[in-house]
């Protein structure tokens, strides 16, 4: 199999850049860490597919890998990883045992890196799944179990489809768990319409789209006016997080709770989605209503969280921790592209050469929507009509 251009992150580059930036993660230059490299594709087995990557979305876990703020995943994986766990691709060839895909099909990937006995991932593909090779590459060879037909007739354009393969299943799983847990406690006849709050970021936007599609009242607490405006157009109310200094002090959290008490007629929130933790976790708990559910699949600002167990018991608040969907759940989430999931994509569609810059801009939090990178030099005819120029 040929050697193809691919981006990699090496543990040595991470260490060098951490040293140069003096441990100041905000000053770390991701273009020194996420480097253009090459990758020798493995020989496809009978159950594999050979893909040409068309577009990928930029994911926050690559920032975590590049700055090594949670774990130093490149070192733990033996010194180097090939990242990229969300892609839209064209099938070039299929192994003899693959019956559900054929060359020319357009597909998306999921990042369930190997399910437990209940179907949920123990590891994430191209992050901590052993020997997993990611999709920030021109081509890839993966098992056919890892691809799903792309919903080309969903009404979304190619970049919107490419924004979703990782974030939509995460939001879908968080929502179906949160609503399930809440309904175990409070049946529909006692409270039909819930107040649902989510803090900043792509997954949270999709989580709120699910809640709104079922008739609930959604609130998006973010620092970005553009992202709040995009959700307001879908009936989801915005709360400016900057107005509360991103919850830097107790007084900011008190002011936030006072503001949301007025917004919700004193009831506060029945469901809270918090992908960030850190100060956001305290803010989310401060506005938790009785019987509420606080769900998270992220730890962008902190991995540790502390809470008052007595208080949460008295209010019967449930803290739920999510990793990622089952493979079947990823396919189910894909059914909702276009009807429920209509993502805001960042105004610039990045090119292959710009991929490190896209991560730098995500690290500096300057993007107005989910960032998407066009990887292919030339798009296939089947998607040219749904790929607007940025």
Ligand X SMILES: NC(=O)c1ccc[n+]([C@@H]2O[C@H](COP(=O)([O-])OP(=O)(O)OC[C@H]3O[C@@H](n4cnc5c(N)ncnc54)[C@H](OP(=O)(O)O)[C@@H]3O)[C@@H](O)[C@H]2O)c1
Q: Check binding of 341 to ligand X (CB under 6 A).
A: no
User: Residue 57 or 139: which CB sits closer to ligand X?
Assistant: 57
**R_g of the chain computed on alpha carbons:** 21
Residue among 272, 276, 333, 375 that touches ligand X (CB under 6 A)? 276
Q: Return the number of the residue (44 or 371) whose C-beta is nearest ligand X.
A: 371
Q: Which of 18, 167, 270, 363 binds ligand X (CB under 6 A)?
A: 167
Catalogue the long-range contacts made by 311-314 (C-beta closer than 8 Å, 24 or more residues apart). Answer: 312/285, 312/288
Among 50, 52, 60, 363, binds ligand X (CB under 6 A): 60
Q: Which is nearer to ligand X, 225 or 311 (CB)?
A: 225
**Nearest approach, Cβ of 253 to ligand X (angstroms)?**
12
Cα–Cα distances in Å, from 384 out to 4, 15, 163, 350, 372? 23, 41, 17, 17, 16
Q: Are 222 and 238 in contact (CB under 8 A)?
A: yes
Nearest approach in angstroms of CB 384 to ligand X is 28
Q: Given its phi and psi angles, is residue 243 left (phi above 0), alpha (psi -120 to 50 degrees) or beta? A: alpha
Of 257-265, 275-283, 332-340, 379-387, which segment contacts ligand X by CB under 6 A?
A: 275-283
Query: CB–CB of 159/372 below 8 Å?
Result: yes
Kindly indicate which of the ranges 44-52, 60-68, 251-259, 286-294 contains the residues binding ligand X, using the contact rule CB under 6 A: 60-68
Interface residues for ligand X in 13-32 (CB under 6 A)?
Answer: none
Instruction: Tell me whether residue 52 or residue 228 sits nearer to ligand X (CB atom).
Output: 228
Catalogue the E-assigned strands of the chain: 3-10, 34-40, 48-57, 80-81, 87-94, 106-109, 139-143, 147-149, 195-199, 217-222, 237-240, 269-273, 288-296, 318-321, 345-351, 370-374
| Dihedral sign (CA 108, 112, 114, 119) | negative
Q: Which residues contact residue 102 at a Cβ distance below 8 angstroms, ignoring those fewer than 6 apart?
A: 91, 94
What backbone phi and psi angles, to 5 degrees, belong to 7?
A: -90, 145
173-212 residues near ligand X, rule: CB under 6 A: 199-204
Q: Is 85 or 139 the residue whose CB approaches ligand X more closely? A: 85
Minimum gap (Å) between residue 153 Cβ and ligand X = 26
The size of the chain, in residues, is 390
Q: How far is the CB of 111 from ligand X (least distance, A)?
A: 7
Q: Does 324 bind ligand X (CB under 6 A)?
A: yes
- Give the whole-angstrom CA distance, residue 279 versus residue 268: 18
The residue (of 61 and 139) whose beta carbon lies closer to ligand X is 61
115 lines the binding site for ligand X (CB under 6 A): no
User: The tokens of 260 are what?
Assistant: 């949301």
Distance CA 294, CA 318 (A): 6
Closest CB to ligand X among residues 65, 194: 65
Applying CB under 6 A, among 47, 95, 223, 338 the residue interacting with ligand X is 223
- Cα 11 to Cα 83: distance, rounded to the nearest angstrom: 13
Q: Choose between 91 and 124: whose C-beta lies nearer to ligand X.
A: 124
Number of residues binding to ligand X, judged by CB under 6 A: 30
Rounded CA separation 17/24 (Å): 10
Site string for ligand X, 277-316 (x = CB under 6 A): ---x----------------xx-xx---------------
Say whether residue 241 binds ligand X (CB under 6 A): yes
Q: Which is nearer to ligand X, 94 or 211 (CB)?
A: 211
Whole-angstrom Cα distance, residue 131 to residue 262? 51
Our CB check for ligand X shows the closer of 101 and 281 to be: 281
Tell whether residue 86 is a contact of ligand X (CB under 6 A).
Answer: no
Nearer to ligand X, 152 or 349 (CB): 349
The answer to whether 159 contacts ligand X (rule: CB under 6 A) is no
On the 0-12 / 13-18 / 19+ scale of CB atoms within 10 A, 165 is buried
- CA 166, distance to chain mean position in Å, is 5
Binding site residues, ligand X, CB under 6 A = 60-61, 64, 166-167, 170, 199-204, 222-224, 227, 241, 246, 275-276, 280, 297-298, 300-301, 323-324, 362, 365, 370
């Amino acid at each position: 199999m040929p050697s193809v251009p691919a981006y990699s992150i090496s543990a040595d580059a991470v260490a060098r850049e951490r040293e140069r930036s003096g441990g100041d993660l905000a000053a770390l230059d991701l273009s020194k860490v996420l480097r253009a490299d090459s990758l020798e594709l493995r020989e496809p087995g009978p159950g594999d597919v050979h893909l040409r990557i068309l577009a990928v979305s930029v994911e926050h876990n690559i920032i975590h890998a590049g700055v090594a703020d949670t774990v130093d995943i490149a070192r733990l994986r033996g010194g180097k990883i090939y990242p990229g766990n969300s892609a839209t691709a064209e099938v070039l060839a299929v192994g003899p045992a693959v019956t559900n895909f054929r060359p020319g099909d357009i597909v998306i990937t999921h990042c369930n890196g190997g399910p437990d006995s209940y179907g949920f991932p123990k590891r994430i593909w191209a992050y901590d799944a052993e020997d997993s090779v990611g999709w920030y590459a021109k081509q890839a060879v993966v098992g056919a179990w890892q691809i799903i037909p792309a919903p080309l007739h969903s009404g979304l354009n190619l970049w919107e489809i490419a924004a979703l393969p990782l974030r939509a299943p995460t939001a879908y799983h968080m929502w179906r768990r949160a609503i399930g847990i809440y309904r175990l406690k409070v049946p529909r006849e006692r409270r039909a319409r819930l107040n649902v709050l989510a803090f900043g970021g792509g997954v949270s936007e999709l989580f709120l789209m699910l809640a709104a599609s079922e008739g609930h009242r959604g609130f998006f607490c973010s620092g970005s006016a553009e992202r709040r405006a995009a959700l307001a157009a879908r009936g989801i109310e915005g709360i400016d997080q900057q107005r509360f200094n991103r919850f830097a002090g107790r007084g900011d959290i008190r002011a936030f709770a006072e503001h949301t008490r007025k917004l919700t007629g004193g009831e506060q929130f029945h469901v809270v989605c918090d992908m960030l933790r850190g100060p956001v976790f305290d803010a989310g708990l401060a506005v938790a209503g009785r019987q509420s559910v606080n769900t998270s699949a992220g730890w962008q600002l902190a991995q540790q969280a502390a809470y008052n167990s007595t208080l949460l018991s008295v209010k019967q608040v449930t803290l739920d921790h999510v990793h990622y969907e089952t493979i079947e759940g990823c396919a189910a989430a894909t059914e909702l592209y276009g009807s429920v999931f209509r993502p805001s994509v960042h105004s610039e569609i990045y090119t292959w050469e710009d991929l490190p810059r896209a991560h730098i801009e995500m690290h500096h939090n300057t993007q107005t929507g989910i960032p998407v990178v066009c990887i292919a030099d030339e798009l296939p005819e089947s998607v040219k009509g749904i790929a607007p120029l940025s």
